[in-house]
A and B are shown apart, each in its own frame.
Chain A
Amino acid sequence: MGDLPPYPERPPQQPPNRRTSQASQRQHSQDQVQPPAADPEEGQQIAPDARRNAPGWSQRGSLSQQESLLMPRAFQAEEAQMGSMEYPSMNTGFPLEFQPQAYSDESRIQAAELTTSLMQRLQQGQSSLLQQLDSTFPEPPVNPLDPFNLYQTDQFSEGAQHGPYVRDDPAFQFSPSEMGFPHYSAEVPEPEPLELAVQNAKAYLLQTSISCDLSLYEHLVNLLTKILNQRPEDPLSVLESLNRTTQWEWFHPKLDTLWDDPEMQPTYEMAEKQKALFTRSGGGAEGEQEMEEEVGETPVPNIMETAFYFEQAGVGLSSDESFRIFLAMKQLAEQQPIHTCRFWGKILGMNRSYLVAEVEFREGEEEAEEEEVEEMTEGGEVMEAHGEEEGEEDEEKAVDVIPKPVWKPPPVIPKEESRSGANKYLYFVCNEPGLPWTRLPHVTPAQIVNARKIKKFFTGYLDAPVVSYPPFPGNEANYLRAQIARISAATQVSPLGFYQFSEEEGDEEEEGGAGRDSYEENPDFEGIPVLELVDSMANWVHHTQHILPQGRCTWVNPLQKTEEEEDLGEEEEKADEGPEEVEQEVGPPLLTPLSEDAEIMHLAPWTTRLSCSLCPQYSVAVVRSNLWPGAYAYASGKKFENIYIGWGHKYSPENFNPALPAPIQQEYPSGPEIMEMSDPTVEEEQALKAAQEQALGATEEEEEGEEEEEGEETDD
Chain B
Amino acid sequence: MDADSLLLSLELASGSGQGLSPDRRASLLTSLMLVKRDYRYDRVLFWGRILGLVADYYIAQGLSEDQLAPRKTLYSLNCTEWSLLPPATEEMVAQSSVVKGRFMGDPSYEYEHTELQKVNEGEKVFEEEIVVQIKEETRLVSVIDQIDKAVAIIPRGALFKTPFGPTHVNRTFEGLSLSEAKKLSSYFHFREPVELKNKTLLEKADLDPSLDFMDSLEHDIPKALVPSLAYSPSILIPELPFFQDGRRM
Contacts and interface: CB of A to CB of B under 8 A. Distances in A.
Interface of A: 231, 263-264, 266-267, 270, 311-318, 321, 346, 348, 350-353, 432, 600-601, 603-604, 607, 611-615, 624, 626, 629-630, 645-646, 651, 653-654
B14 interface: yes
B176 to A, nearest CB: 11
Given A263-B177, A629-B245, A317 B15 contact: yes
B22 A316 contact: no
Nearest to B53: A607
A313 B21 contact: yes
Contact of B100 (A318, A611, A629, A653): A653
A317 B18 CA distance: 8
A267 B233 CA distance: 11
Given A613-B78, A654-B100, A351 B227 contact: yes
Contacts of A314: 18-21, 24
Given A263-B178, A601-B101, A315 B23 contact: no
Contacts of B179: 263
Interface in B157-183: 177-179
Contacts of A611: 21
Contacts of B16: 348, 645
A352 B245 CA distance: 21
16 contacts: A311-B22, A314-B24, A315-B17, A315-B19, A318-B15, A321-B14, A350-B225, A601-B100, A607-B51, A607-B53, A614-B23, A615-B23, A624-B51, A626-B53, A645-B17, A645-B18
Query: Interface SS of chain A: helix, strand, loop or mixed?
Result: loop
9 closest Cβ pairs, A-B complex: A645-B17, A318-B14, A314-B21, A263-B178, A653-B100, A350-B225, A612-B23, A653-B101, A312-B21
B123 to A, nearest CB: 39
Contacts of B11: 318
Nearest to A312: B21
B17 A317 contact: yes
Nearest to B177: A263
B201 interface: no
Interface string B206-232: 100000000000000000010110101
A569 B19 CA distance: 60
Nearest to A314: B21
A311 B19 contact: yes
A612 B22 CA distance: 9
B229 to A, nearest CB: 9
Contact of B14 (A317, A612, A629): A317
B247 interface: yes
A651 B100 contact: no
B206 A231 contact: yes
A675 B20 CA distance: 71
Contacts of A353: 15
Interface string B2-37: 000000000100111111111110000000000000
A315 B230 contact: no
A367 to B, nearest CB: 35
Contacts of A266: 228
B249 interface: yes
A702 B51 CA distance: 97
B119 to A, nearest CB: 29
A311 B247 contact: no
B153 to A, nearest CB: 16
Nearest to A606: B53
Nearest to A317: B14
A601 B247 CA distance: 13
B17 A316 contact: yes
B52 to A, nearest CB: 8
B149 interface: no
A353 B228 CA distance: 10
A369 B204 CA distance: 60
